[in-house]
Amino acid sequence: MSSISKTKASTNNTTTSISLGTTNTLEDPTKTKMASTASFLALTTLFALLSSQAIASDPSPLQDFCVADKDSHVLVNGFVCKDPKDVKADDFFLAANLDKPRDTSTSKAGSNVTLINVMRIPGLNTLGISLARIDYAPLGENPPHTHPRATEILTVLEGTLYVGFVTSNPNNTLFTKMLNKGDVFVFPEGLIHFQFNPCPDKPAVAIAALSSQNPSAITIANAVFGSKPSISDDVLAKAFQVEKKTVDWLQAQFWADNHN
């Protein structure tokens, strides 16, 4: 039978009983230290993983600004900073005339995207944001595309838009909404999305903000059927489960970009 030792401590006339357990074996301090170290490393790794998920596509700036030096030949992720002594107000300014309608008549998709990114405003470098005005002809669309580096939030300024995005494999769930003037919709980063003007006689206009200084755009049809050089029609016929002559016809079309 194991014995239980009891220690009584009396302080200010208060007696406390402390049970020490049923064994006299002491834990190895080396093992305790190793377990503590392993736990700390596990928690640190978990924290790092969780923190990485909270970081936006573009890295956070480490100074007030880093105006892009487009004349530098140094290759970095983004642009090298211009010397702050050479920075001017115009580095953060662009007379973009975004209040004026854009021409949609030359676009086969019936839309015109005017993107304001770091290539247009050097002061956007490292700030993780850009802007676009999108004009839609009657029955025009901004065809299915993705922004590999940005989430997009879109506001309708004029007209009506039918918008949507599709989730990743395996569900490929479609989320859609009909937007009217003043409505706002969000397209998560990297997901295929689109906007379509369903009105046959009225144009539409929207403004989009994107969470990258250079969000890029991959228009699905252009990338698949308009790549240079062309993807093998054997590959695409198998992927889309159609005859090769259908793929050949699609690849023969003129896949124009609606971004300016």
CA dist 185 to 165, 176, 181, 213, Å? 10, 10, 12, 20
**pLDDT tens across the length of the chain (260 residues):** 444 444 444 444 444 443 444 444 455 555 555 555 556 555 554 444 444 444 456 777 788 999 999 888 888 888 999 999 999 999 999 999 999 999 999 999 999 999 999 999 999 999 999 999 999 999 999 999 999 999 999 999 999 999 999 999 999 999 999 999 999 999 999 999 999 999 999 999 999 999 999 999 999 999 999 999 999 999 999 999 999 999 999 999 988 788 87
Distance CA 145, CA 147 (A): 7
Plot region of 139 (φ>0 → left; ψ -120 to 50 → alpha; else → beta): left
Q: What is the pTM of this model?
A: 0.76
**Strands, sheet with 184-187, edge to edge from the N-terminal-most edge strand:** 111-116, 130-136, 204-210, 152-158, 184-187
Using CB atoms within 10 Å of the CB of residue 191, give its burial: 0 to 12 exposed, 13 to 18 middle, 19+ buried: middle
Q: Can you name the residues that pair with 9 across neighbouring β-strands?
A: 16
